[in-house]
Amino acid sequence: MLDLETLNQRFETASPVEILGWAWETFGKKLAMVTSFQPTGIVALHMLRDIVPDLPVLTIDTGLLFSDTYALMDHITTEWNLNLIRVCPGQTPAQQAEIYGDDLWLRDPDLCCYLRKVIPLQEALNGYAAWITGLRRDQSEVRRTTPIVSWDLRHENVKVSPFATWTEEMVWAYLRAHQLPYNPLHDQHYASIGCQSCTRAIAPDEGLRAGRWSGTNKAECGIHLQTPR
Ligand code: SF4
């Protein structure tokens, strides 16, 4: 039984490398990383190369990602010899359109995310005792209180967010210092990158996740929410 309060106190000032090392020592083969190959995830993958290079790396492939995202994913997987597991929905976008109609993301993005992200990840994480995420407190109001280690009710396992205390600036400083690859869309003012249909570039005065589900009140796809969709 983990003492989450003590662990969170201890990790509040710990480095992500220390937290990742603890996660591997604690959960071993029952640990997975989940990433969408955004900057924080790439930093995590780079650190994990020295800790557990063959850690299962799960990525949700909705079939609706940007071509730049697919290219980056393929590049890093090959270069770093990642143990990548693509988590795919039960239906292709065309099959989904046959049942729910075209462009479900415009009419009911919660249902679309539930079908294409939430359910597939729930199934893929079955059997893992813990998962690593790239959540950071500076990303949005909703994420402002992100704990470093928590019990995940949705997945019934432990969620580890080693970068909760990091900032956007720290992530980019690490990426540049180590000359790591990143999605070229970031150079076109895309701050947070998800499915092509639900992502836009942001203005300088907008929040980091303002370009996701723009024009709706949706802030999260659902994999990090603790409630049914
Ligand atoms: S981000 Fe948009 S297109 Fe992707 S699964 Fe969610 S609603 Fe569907």
For position 1, what pLDDT does the model report? 84
Domain that holds residue 68: 4-198
Residues with CB under 6 A from ligand 1: 62, 64, 105, 109, 112-113, 116-117, 194-195, 197-198, 221
146 part of a folded domain: yes
The answer on pLDDT for 229 being more than 80 is no
pTM for this entry = 0.96
71 part of a folded domain: yes
At 190, the amino acid letter reads Y
Domain count, the chain: 1
Short-list 148, 164, 167, 142, CA closest to 223: 142
39, 14 Cβ separation under 8 angstroms: no
31-44 pLDDT, tens digit each: 999 999 999 999 99
How sure is the predictor about 226, in pLDDT bands with cuts at 50, 70 and 90? Answer: confident
118-174 pLDDT, tens digit each: 999 999 999 999 999 999 999 999 999 999 999 999 999 999 999 999 999 999 999
- The burial class, CB within 10 Å (0-12 / 13-18 / 19+), for 62 is buried
**Residue nearest atom 1 in ligand 1 by C-alpha distance:** 195
For position 228, what pLDDT does the model report? 57
The span from the CA of 31 to the CA of 28, in Å, is 6
118 part of a folded domain: yes
14 part of a folded domain: yes
217 part of a folded domain: no
37-94 pLDDT, tens digit each: 999 999 999 999 999 999 999 999 999 999 999 999 999 999 999 999 999 999 999 9
In CATH, what number is assigned to the domain containing residue 32? 3.40.50.620
For position 98, what pLDDT does the model report? 97
Query: Per the structure block, which two tokens stand in for 170?
Result: 């720290």
206 part of a folded domain: no
210 part of a folded domain: no
159 part of a folded domain: yes
